[in-house]
Amino acid sequence: MIHLQKIRKSYPSEADSGPVLDFEDWRVETGGQVALIGESGSGKTTLLNLLSGLIQPDSGVVSVEGSDLAQLSEAQRDRFRADNIGYVFQSFHLLDGYSVKENVELGAVFAKRHAEPGRAEHLLEAVGLGHRLQHTPRQLSVGQQARVAFARALVNRPKLLLADEPTGALDHESGRQVLDLLLSTARSSGITVVCATHDMDVAAAFENTVRVEEMQ
Ligand SMILES: Nc1ncnc2c1ncn2[C@@H]1O[C@H](COP(=O)(O)OP(=O)(O)OP(=O)(O)O)[C@@H](O)[C@H]1O
Ligand SMILES: [Mg+2]
Protein backbone atom coordinates (compact mmCIF):
# COMPACT_ATOMS: atom_id res chain seq x y z
CA MET A 1 0.00 0.00 0.00
CA ILE A 2 1.00 3.60 -0.56
CA HIS A 3 0.19 6.16 2.12
CA LEU A 4 1.28 9.80 1.92
CA GLN A 5 0.52 12.15 4.80
CA LYS A 6 0.81 15.92 5.16
CA ILE A 7 3.09 16.23 2.16
CA ARG A 8 4.78 19.48 1.22
CA LYS A 9 7.32 19.58 -1.56
CA SER A 10 8.90 22.68 -3.06
CA TYR A 11 12.05 23.21 -5.06
CA PRO A 12 14.48 25.83 -3.70
CA SER A 13 14.75 27.59 -7.07
CA GLU A 14 10.94 27.84 -7.26
CA ALA A 15 10.29 28.68 -3.62
CA ASP A 16 8.64 32.02 -4.55
CA SER A 17 5.80 30.25 -6.30
CA GLY A 18 5.02 28.09 -3.24
CA PRO A 19 5.12 24.32 -2.93
CA VAL A 20 4.58 22.15 -5.98
CA LEU A 21 2.75 19.61 -3.83
CA ASP A 22 0.84 20.34 -0.63
CA PHE A 23 -1.78 17.83 0.50
CA GLU A 24 -3.06 16.06 3.59
CA ASP A 25 -3.53 12.44 2.81
CA TRP A 26 -3.38 10.12 -0.18
CA ARG A 27 -3.61 6.33 -0.29
CA VAL A 28 -3.44 3.66 -2.94
CA GLU A 29 -4.40 0.17 -1.87
CA THR A 30 -2.23 -2.79 -2.81
CA GLY A 31 -3.08 -3.88 -6.34
CA GLY A 32 -4.75 -0.53 -7.09
CA GLN A 33 -4.31 1.08 -10.50
CA VAL A 34 -4.23 4.87 -10.51
CA ALA A 35 -3.76 7.37 -13.31
CA LEU A 36 -2.22 10.70 -12.26
CA ILE A 37 -3.41 13.52 -14.45
CA GLY A 38 -2.86 17.28 -14.32
CA GLU A 39 -1.52 20.20 -16.30
CA SER A 40 2.09 20.26 -17.38
CA GLY A 41 4.07 21.44 -14.34
CA SER A 42 1.39 20.38 -11.83
CA GLY A 43 3.71 17.92 -10.09
CA LYS A 44 3.02 14.46 -11.55
CA THR A 45 6.67 13.53 -12.02
CA THR A 46 7.50 15.07 -8.65
CA LEU A 47 4.93 12.81 -7.01
CA LEU A 48 6.29 9.71 -8.77
CA ASN A 49 9.79 10.66 -7.64
CA LEU A 50 8.60 11.03 -4.04
CA LEU A 51 6.99 7.57 -4.25
CA SER A 52 10.23 6.04 -5.50
CA GLY A 53 12.32 7.79 -2.84
CA LEU A 54 14.40 9.52 -5.52
CA ILE A 55 13.53 12.83 -3.85
CA GLN A 56 12.35 13.69 -0.33
CA PRO A 57 9.43 15.89 0.72
CA ASP A 58 10.13 19.07 2.74
CA SER A 59 7.79 17.58 5.33
CA GLY A 60 5.34 14.73 5.67
CA VAL A 61 5.49 10.96 5.49
CA VAL A 62 5.87 8.83 2.38
CA SER A 63 5.07 5.25 3.25
CA VAL A 64 5.35 2.52 0.62
CA GLU A 65 4.66 -1.14 1.43
CA GLY A 66 4.81 -0.29 5.13
CA SER A 67 8.22 1.42 4.96
CA ASP A 68 8.52 5.10 5.89
CA LEU A 69 11.05 6.15 3.24
CA ALA A 70 12.47 8.99 5.38
CA GLN A 71 13.49 6.47 8.05
CA LEU A 72 15.76 4.63 5.62
CA SER A 73 19.38 5.58 4.94
CA GLU A 74 20.20 6.46 1.36
CA ALA A 75 21.66 3.00 0.83
CA GLN A 76 18.59 1.38 2.35
CA ARG A 77 16.36 3.50 0.11
CA ASP A 78 18.32 2.37 -2.95
CA ARG A 79 17.86 -1.23 -1.80
CA PHE A 80 14.18 -0.67 -1.11
CA ARG A 81 13.68 0.84 -4.57
CA ALA A 82 15.53 -2.01 -6.25
CA ASP A 83 13.51 -4.63 -4.39
CA ASN A 84 10.07 -3.06 -4.58
CA ILE A 85 9.72 -0.56 -7.39
CA GLY A 86 9.72 -0.76 -11.17
CA TYR A 87 9.91 2.53 -13.09
CA VAL A 88 9.02 3.13 -16.73
CA PHE A 89 10.45 6.48 -17.85
CA GLN A 90 8.88 8.59 -20.55
CA SER A 91 11.95 8.35 -22.75
CA PHE A 92 12.49 4.68 -21.73
CA HIS A 93 16.26 5.13 -20.99
CA LEU A 94 17.32 2.06 -22.94
CA LEU A 95 21.04 1.59 -23.59
CA ASP A 96 21.99 1.26 -27.21
CA GLY A 97 25.27 -0.57 -26.70
CA TYR A 98 23.32 -3.54 -25.38
CA SER A 99 20.84 -5.98 -26.86
CA VAL A 100 17.17 -5.97 -25.94
CA LYS A 101 17.71 -8.99 -23.68
CA GLU A 102 20.71 -7.34 -22.00
CA ASN A 103 18.72 -4.15 -21.43
CA VAL A 104 16.15 -6.13 -19.46
CA GLU A 105 18.85 -8.03 -17.56
CA LEU A 106 20.53 -4.72 -16.68
CA GLY A 107 17.45 -3.93 -14.59
CA ALA A 108 18.64 -6.70 -12.27
CA VAL A 109 22.31 -5.73 -12.51
CA PHE A 110 21.65 -2.12 -11.51
CA ALA A 111 19.57 -3.41 -8.61
CA LYS A 112 22.57 -5.59 -7.60
CA ARG A 113 20.45 -8.70 -7.88
CA HIS A 114 21.21 -12.01 -9.50
CA ALA A 115 19.32 -12.21 -12.75
CA GLU A 116 16.90 -15.13 -12.53
CA PRO A 117 17.81 -17.44 -15.40
CA GLY A 118 15.31 -17.09 -18.21
CA ARG A 119 13.44 -14.18 -16.60
CA ALA A 120 14.39 -11.59 -19.25
CA GLU A 121 13.47 -13.94 -22.12
CA HIS A 122 10.20 -14.83 -20.42
CA LEU A 123 9.22 -11.18 -19.98
CA LEU A 124 10.24 -10.26 -23.50
CA GLU A 125 8.17 -13.14 -24.86
CA ALA A 126 5.24 -11.94 -22.74
CA VAL A 127 5.47 -8.48 -24.32
CA GLY A 128 5.68 -9.95 -27.81
CA LEU A 129 9.40 -9.45 -28.38
CA GLY A 130 10.68 -13.00 -28.07
CA HIS A 131 11.92 -12.73 -31.67
CA ARG A 132 13.89 -9.53 -31.00
CA LEU A 133 16.17 -10.54 -28.12
CA GLN A 134 19.43 -9.77 -29.91
CA HIS A 135 18.35 -6.53 -31.56
CA THR A 136 19.53 -3.26 -30.12
CA PRO A 137 16.92 -0.71 -28.99
CA ARG A 138 17.66 1.48 -32.03
CA GLN A 139 16.55 -1.37 -34.28
CA LEU A 140 13.09 -1.40 -32.69
CA SER A 141 9.99 0.69 -33.24
CA VAL A 142 9.12 3.16 -30.48
CA GLY A 143 6.23 0.93 -29.36
CA GLN A 144 8.61 -2.02 -29.11
CA GLN A 145 11.06 0.12 -27.10
CA ALA A 146 8.23 0.92 -24.67
CA ARG A 147 7.63 -2.81 -24.24
CA VAL A 148 11.33 -3.41 -23.51
CA ALA A 149 11.22 -0.64 -20.87
CA PHE A 150 8.15 -2.28 -19.38
CA ALA A 151 9.82 -5.72 -19.32
CA ARG A 152 12.87 -4.18 -17.64
CA ALA A 153 10.66 -2.53 -14.99
CA LEU A 154 9.25 -5.99 -14.14
CA VAL A 155 12.53 -7.91 -14.05
CA ASN A 156 12.91 -7.62 -10.26
CA ARG A 157 9.28 -8.55 -9.55
CA PRO A 158 8.31 -5.15 -8.12
CA LYS A 159 5.31 -4.61 -5.86
CA LEU A 160 4.84 -1.09 -7.22
CA LEU A 161 5.10 -0.01 -10.84
CA LEU A 162 5.56 3.71 -11.51
CA ALA A 163 5.17 4.94 -15.06
CA ASP A 164 5.75 8.49 -16.29
CA GLU A 165 3.85 9.08 -19.53
CA PRO A 166 4.74 5.58 -20.77
CA THR A 167 2.65 5.99 -23.91
CA GLY A 168 3.55 9.64 -24.55
CA ALA A 169 5.78 8.83 -27.52
CA LEU A 170 3.49 6.22 -29.05
CA ASP A 171 0.70 6.43 -31.57
CA HIS A 172 -2.78 5.69 -30.30
CA GLU A 173 -2.86 2.03 -31.30
CA SER A 174 0.55 0.99 -29.96
CA GLY A 175 -0.02 3.11 -26.85
CA ARG A 176 -3.21 1.19 -26.24
CA GLN A 177 -1.43 -2.14 -26.65
CA VAL A 178 1.36 -1.22 -24.23
CA LEU A 179 -1.16 0.09 -21.72
CA ASP A 180 -3.39 -3.00 -21.89
CA LEU A 181 -0.34 -5.18 -21.43
CA LEU A 182 0.86 -3.12 -18.49
CA LEU A 183 -2.50 -3.15 -16.73
CA SER A 184 -3.31 -6.81 -17.33
CA THR A 185 0.16 -7.95 -16.24
CA ALA A 186 -0.02 -5.81 -13.12
CA ARG A 187 -3.51 -7.07 -12.31
CA SER A 188 -2.59 -10.73 -12.64
CA SER A 189 0.48 -10.25 -10.40
CA GLY A 190 -1.20 -7.95 -7.85
CA ILE A 191 1.22 -5.11 -8.66
CA THR A 192 0.12 -1.60 -7.66
CA VAL A 193 0.37 0.86 -10.57
CA VAL A 194 0.66 4.66 -10.52
CA CYS A 195 0.91 6.17 -13.99
CA ALA A 196 1.25 9.83 -14.97
CA THR A 197 -0.46 10.72 -18.22
CA HIS A 198 -1.78 13.65 -20.24
CA ASP A 199 -4.00 11.42 -22.29
CA MET A 200 -7.58 11.08 -21.08
CA ASP A 201 -8.05 7.88 -23.09
CA VAL A 202 -5.12 6.40 -21.18
CA ALA A 203 -6.52 7.63 -17.86
CA ALA A 204 -9.90 6.08 -18.65
CA ALA A 205 -8.34 2.60 -18.67
CA PHE A 206 -7.47 2.92 -14.96
CA GLU A 207 -9.67 2.05 -11.98
CA ASN A 208 -9.03 5.46 -10.46
CA THR A 209 -7.91 8.83 -11.72
CA VAL A 210 -6.42 11.53 -9.54
CA ARG A 211 -5.96 15.11 -10.70
CA VAL A 212 -2.83 16.42 -9.01
CA GLU A 213 -4.19 19.97 -8.67
CA GLU A 214 -7.16 18.60 -6.72
CA MET A 215 -5.05 16.76 -4.16
CA GLN A 216 -4.06 20.10 -2.59
N1 LIG B 1 14.56 19.55 -10.14
C2 LIG B 1 13.76 20.64 -10.14
N3 LIG B 1 14.21 21.84 -9.73
C4 LIG B 1 13.40 22.92 -9.71
N5 LIG B 1 12.11 22.91 -10.06
C6 LIG B 1 11.60 21.72 -10.48
C7 LIG B 1 12.39 20.54 -10.54
N8 LIG B 1 11.62 19.53 -10.99
C9 LIG B 1 10.40 20.07 -11.20
N10 LIG B 1 10.38 21.38 -10.90
C11 LIG B 1 9.22 22.29 -10.99
O12 LIG B 1 8.16 21.69 -10.28
C13 LIG B 1 6.94 21.82 -10.99
C14 LIG B 1 6.33 20.44 -11.22
O15 LIG B 1 7.17 19.72 -12.13
P16 LIG B 1 6.84 18.23 -12.56
O17 LIG B 1 7.95 17.79 -13.43
O18 LIG B 1 6.57 17.40 -11.35
O19 LIG B 1 5.48 18.45 -13.37
P20 LIG B 1 4.66 17.43 -14.27
O21 LIG B 1 3.26 17.46 -13.80
O22 LIG B 1 5.34 16.11 -14.31
O23 LIG B 1 4.73 18.13 -15.71
P24 LIG B 1 4.76 17.45 -17.18
O25 LIG B 1 3.33 17.04 -17.44
O26 LIG B 1 5.19 18.58 -18.07
O27 LIG B 1 5.71 16.31 -17.16
C28 LIG B 1 7.27 22.62 -12.24
O29 LIG B 1 6.92 23.96 -12.00
C30 LIG B 1 8.74 22.44 -12.41
O31 LIG B 1 9.32 23.59 -12.99
MG1 LIG C 1 6.28 15.04 -15.81
Partners of 34 in beta bridges = 194, 208
The set of residues, in sequence order, having a beta carbon less than 8 Å from that of 96 and lying 6+ positions away, is 136, 137, 138
Write down the H helix ranges in 73-113: 74-84, 100-110
Is there a contact between 88 and 160 (Cβ–Cβ < 8 Å)? no
**Ligand number nearest to the C-alpha of 54:** 1
19 pocket-lining for ligand 1 (C-beta < 6 Å): no
* pLDDT value at residue 44: 96
Is there a contact between 127 and 174 (Cβ–Cβ < 8 Å)? no
- Please identify, in words, the CATH class of the domain defined by 2-215: alpha beta
* pLDDT value at residue 112: 83
Global confidence as pTM: 0.94
Closest-CA residue, ligand 1 atom 29, reads: 41
44-65 per-residue burial string, b: 16 or more CB within 10 A, e: under 16: bbbbbbbbbbbeebeebebbbb
Task: Determine how many CB atoms are found less than 10 A away from the CB of residue 185.
Answer: 18
Which of 157, 135, 161 has the alpha carbon at shortest distance from 148?
Answer: 135
Is there a contact between 23 and 7 (Cβ–Cβ < 8 Å)? yes
197 pocket-lining for ligand 1 (C-beta < 6 Å): no
Give the nearest ligand 1 atom to 48 CA.
18
* pLDDT value at residue 113: 81
Residue 20 CA, ligand 2 centroid: distance in Å: 12
* pLDDT value at residue 177: 87
Residues 155 and 36: their CA atoms lie apart, in Å, by 24
Residues 91 and 83: their CA atoms lie apart, in Å, by 23
Which of 206, 202, 132, 131 has the alpha carbon at shortest distance from 165?
Answer: 202
Domain spans in the chain, listed from the N-terminal domain onward? 2-215
Closest-CA residue, ligand 1 atom 8, reads: 46
Residue 41 CA, ligand 1 centroid: distance in Å: 5
pLDDT in tens, 147-182: 999 999 999 999 999 999 998 888 888 888 889 989
Confidence of residue 12 (pLDDT cuts 50, 70, 90): confident
Residue 178 CA, ligand 1 centroid: distance in Å: 25
Interval 43-61 mean pLDDT: 96
Share of the chain above pLDDT 90, in %: 80
